Amino acid sequence: MTSFATPLQLGPLLLKNRVIMSSLTRDRNRVPGPLQVEYYTQRTGAGLILTEGTLIEPQAGIYSDEQVAGWKKIVDSVHAHNGHIFLQLWHVGRVAHPLLQDGRPNVAPSAIAAKGGKFRQLEGHPGFVTPTAIDDPEHYIALYKRAAERAKEAGFDGVELHSANGYLSHQFIDNTSNQRTDQWGGSAENRCRFPLRIIDEISGVFGNDRVGIKLSPSGGYNDMGMTEKDTTETFGYLIKELNARRIAYIQLTRYWPFRDPAQRGTYVDIFQWRNLINSEHTKFFANTEYDSEQGAKALKDGLADAIVFGRLYIANPDLAQRLINNEELNTNFNVKHFYGGDFVGYTDYPTYEQQHTVHA
């Protein structure tokens, strides 16, 4: 019977368990330093660590030599503790703000602004602004490839394309944000061309069996979401194409009403596409608001090959061990320090053993 403790063959990598650490953008440093080394090292009990969203352009990402060197120290420490780690490649597209990226315009497949938004870092807390339509998507595909090359220099085991949550790659997929009339818009095939081209390019860097993708079919967050019919058709096509490329895994996130207060998204069952993914070569990762019981059941029933945990990994650096040993989970989140700051609410959460020692 498959459980959290069951090892998982992911391409050439043997994961020690089926507990995956989700990408959690914690906004600590533009260049990874000792604090980030400690943070990721604390969580090496995971079968696989997915890093925070890492920008492919010259900001807090993997663009400069200094950033590559910082990430290499993290990768080396994770490997020294018998862990595996993929870098998540990220471009936010239209939900950026020019004032937060040195005046450079935010970009998107089409000049359509996302509704809502609130940039708390800027005076007056402005919302989203109308993006500049991308002239040549191949320019951005090349940026993703270059970021993958830099990730390989840093020693990562693989990379994940962030194609979810209303960011650039997702914006090309969704027909409410992509209204192009060229080969990059219109049909499901054309709208999926951008993420598939990226997958092909980064697979050329790492090998297809060291590449994953994150998708959020239901939308909601960052003003995304198609009709149920269009969602089913579009993601059915995309997942078939991804499976044919025999990539390492496809990560699908469940609909989460908390991140969709305007009810913008469309609930769809992510497991409707389970039979399109051949786990002999491409694993199915399920994400969003799983607890220990739900995760264990999804593995036992064969619905997912691994479970991706986000917030629980913030407060439980030893989450994999707690799940495997059926130990109590820490849900005392320091929400104030989720984003930005120093070690507080970042590396100061205790393990189960530390909690037990303190209370003994």
Active-site residue set: 167
Give the CA angle between residues 252, 5, 85 to the nearest 5°.
Answer: 55
**Is 237 within 8 Å of 199 (Cβ atoms)?**
no
DSSP category for residue 61: B
**Is 117 within 8 Å of 189 (Cβ atoms)?**
no
**Is 97 within 8 Å of 129 (Cβ atoms)?**
yes
Q: Beta strands 211-215 and 249-253: pairing type?
A: parallel
Distance of CA 340 to the CA centre of its chain: 19
Dihedral, CA of residue 230, residue 234, residue 237 and residue 239, to nearest 10 = -130
CA distance 162 to 59: 17
**Is 69 within 8 Å of 29 (Cβ atoms)?**
no
